[in-house]
Structure 1
């Protein structure tokens, strides 16, 4: 296996927790949340935003189309930053430790244009990548093979030189099929251990 030449981070549930269900459980209760998510494909609607759809317009249209849930759906826009929280601090330290050792670090994330603009001032580390591949700007989302091809074409690193961490197995599987090195993220400690095993960080730097 070729040595790692660049590390690629997903953002949601790797650097920032993304748990809309948890947010709605706290705000409207689990029973009503389950009913709402059964009635409306909110994650599918969010995919439209991640493909580049206007955040406000997309959520307003969904709210109007579901009048029984209008106010709750609007929370997806009005209180979005509460769903994308908190930062996963250990992962952020790993990002910065890699940068400190001059390992190129990229972001590859399903994220809307406007939602990323909302997140940036709250999470300054989002500005710290060497390259950022944001699906909303690219017009395609993971796990579509096209988005991985676009990264390869732009970054100039061969697939075998990319080490990619993502929390979704479907995203990982497509990357692996293209020859990327991969890590299925289920917590920052295992990711830290992988970076140490690859010789990218010392144990001390990976704390």
Structure 2
């Protein structure tokens, strides 16, 4: 079957997501290393992505790890600075697809509250035809159920979908369901993939 819809991850595809870089700037590499070695921030972030309350989860950790209270509060209070900047070429690709009438879907591990913060900061997140956000679904990639849920809700068969994500395990899970996939390592590589599949021309993907 031919491609009928394009599915974008968001973090590190449309918006950079680099918490360690943010903390290196704020507290220095040594303190950042101690922070991440002691406080399971990425595990907590996964729980937020599964639908747990952002404020309760992160500030609860600040109470649990008082030696890093200030740093944990930074994760909560300045979250948008970790989820930045936007990736302009990827946004152009999103809009080029929309301009051609190609359905464009989002499938992203994102908390309920954090996605609302991101939506206010990045208006292009409203430009998808459908959004599948893990916090609202109670599922996170690479659980096969989240891919099945997108198929069921969108009506697109697996072999009509092309998906890009920056994490190989998420790509592998989609591929196991029959989706076409592209491991995102930069916007130009994604553009080349869309050209190779005949979805965009070279000029449209520039």
Q: Do these two structures clear the TM 0.5 threshold for a shared fold by scoring above it?
A: yes
C-alpha separation between the residues in 2 aligned to 1:78 and 1:64?
15
1:35 matched residue in structure 2 = 34
What is the DSSP-based 3-state SS (H/G/I as helix, E as strand, rest coil) of the residue aligned with 1:7? Answer: strand
User: What pairs with 1:14-163 in structure 2 (closer than 5 Å)?
Assistant: 14-163=13-162
TM-score normalised by the chain length of structure 1 = 0.99
What is the DSSP-based 3-state SS (H/G/I as helix, E as strand, rest coil) of the residue aligned with 1:87? Answer: coil
Deviations 1:113-137 (A, max 9, x none): 1001101121111000000000000
2:195 matched residue in structure 1 = 196
Deviations 1:14-58 (A, max 9, x none): 000000000000000011101110111100000111011111111
Deviations 1:68-92 (A, max 9, x none): 0011011111000000000000000
1:6 matched residue in structure 2 = 5
Instruction: Name the count of aligned residue pairs.
Output: 206
1:173 matched residue in structure 2 = 172
C-alpha separation between the residues in 2 aligned to 1:114 and 1:200?
33
C-alpha separation between the residues in 2 aligned to 1:167 and 1:70?
30
Unaligned 5+ segments in structure 1 are none
Unaligned 5+ segments in structure 2 are none
TM-score normalised by the chain length of structure 2 = 0.99
